[in-house]
Amino acid sequence: MDSNNNQNNIEVQDQDSVLSLSESWSALSPAERRKNFKDLPRTEAEELFLSLKTHDQAELIEEATHLEKRSWIRLLAPDDVADLIQEMGADHREDILSLLDPQTKREVTALLAYAEDAAGGLMSSRFVRLRPDMSVDEAISYIRIQAKTHVETIYYAYVLDSDQKLLGVVSFRELFQSSPEKKIAEIMHTDVLKVPVEMDQEQIGRIFSQQDLMAVPVVDENGIMKGIVTFDDVATAIQEEATEDIHKIGGVESLDAPYLKISMLEMLKKRGGWLLILFLGQMFTATAMAFFEDELSKAMVLSMFIPLIISSGGNSGSQASTLIIRAIALREVRLRDWWRVLGREIMAGACLGLVLGAIGFIRIMLWPNRETLYTVHYMHVGLTVAVSVVGVVLWGTISGSMLPFLLKKAGFDPASASAPAVATLVDVTGLVIYFTAASFFLTGILF
């Protein structure tokens, strides 16, 4: 009895160590990861290896001996091996394929023919197959045999004809609830939701979120079933898509690896391109200020409010672009809805601008020593600032909301309408609006 308890305690401790190591993995250095991984018993090491992300698995594989590589890679399902090859690069392809058994090698090679971010690149080719003329009893026995080949999931069994075309789907629960002598054709569902091999992972993610599925079959143009995409496969893909969009919204080219694993040179390349473009755009701000140099020299008080005007427009534009980019990604709005969005943003921009403009005007009117700070014509200065804020905020919301639609229409990723890009655009035009308002209210007074 004591020996059994001791054994159970050891197993619990091993599981705890695996969980703890998995949680702290990203914070460890490469050397610490390798050491901790090698110190684990084989069973726990396998559990940890299978739970790691592809780039972490690749890091361990690169440092392993030939025999160790063969051992670890053969633990993976074909779709996971394909992901590993894509992560490590074409130079490692043949080396990794040579470590696989012939059947798995054929499956992995077939998966690598598809784009990484398409259904074909995400799917697993190992799924439960049934024939329509099988009895329920035969089907259950056949599934038991197939389960030994490490199929991706046994929640669903897919009914195929002799040409491997998808006819229907049946759940495990339905099999057990049906009479043993019934034919699969009698209990299968023929109205099957399926996706083509070329469907983008973002679209597949939307299907999973809308339909609450565990897996979805993948078929080619002839209706031949090629594999299944499971929820865990698409969850990783959705995370990658969201990360890419967030990077773009922040004005950064999408990183291909975790932050701490990107080399400094690669990091500079990812960030420098956008910064250069934005810097060149901001140079037009200096050009605009030079154009209004006479007005500034005659009314230096105007320079006090330039940061306020620029930031108000940039912030409103960033807000609008972020909201619309996300709404487009979630299919809450489509291209044809641009005019409805425009109407809403004009209303929102006008209201927000009026509130901010009123606050700015009141602040100038009630500020102590206003005549010293803003000259005796402080009321005209206040009107200039208030009207400019209304105009800049309104223009910012319009620009920020419409730019994603324009990019989408042109075939680009709407996320490219990043907050810094919109802010740069609005900065330049905001100065034009500001000095135009100043010319209207202050000509003949300060100019």
Domain count, the chain: 3
If one counts every other C-beta atom within 10 angstroms of the C-beta of residue 190, the result is 11
Compute the average pLDDT of residues 387-396.
Answer: 94
Is residue 317 in a domain? yes
The closest of 171, 83, 162 to 120, measured between CA atoms, is 83
Highest mean pLDDT among 211-215, 241-245, 312-316: 312-316
* pTM of structure: 0.60
Answer yes or no: is 223 within a domain: yes
Greater confidence (238 vs 45) lies with 45
Quick one: 338 and 375 in the same domain?
Answer: yes
Residue 122 has pLDDT above 50, yes or no: yes
Does residue 82 sit in the same domain as residue 140? no
**Confidence class for position 8, pLDDT limits 50, 70, 90:** very low
Q: Which residues partner with 223 through β-bridges?
A: none
Task: Assess whether pLDDT exceeds 90 at residue 118.
Answer: no
Q: Which residues lie below 8 Å from residue 301, measured CB to CB, with a gap of 6+?
A: 373, 374, 375, 381, 446
Confidence class for position 11, pLDDT limits 50, 70, 90? very low
pLDDT at 7: 44
Q: Which domain holds residue 209?
A: 129-230
Tell whether 105 and 161 lie within a shared domain: no
Tens digit of each residue's pLDDT (9 = 90 or more) over 36-54: 888 888 888 888 888 888 8
Are 186 and 53 within one domain? no
Answer for the pair 126, 149: CB distance below 8 angstroms, yes or no: yes
Same domain, 40 and 153: no
Collect all residues with Cβ–Cβ distance below 8 Å to 262 and sequence separation of at least 6: 255, 256, 270
CATH assignment of the domain containing 350: 1.10.357.20
Query: What CATH number is attached to the domain comprising 226?
Result: 3.10.580.10
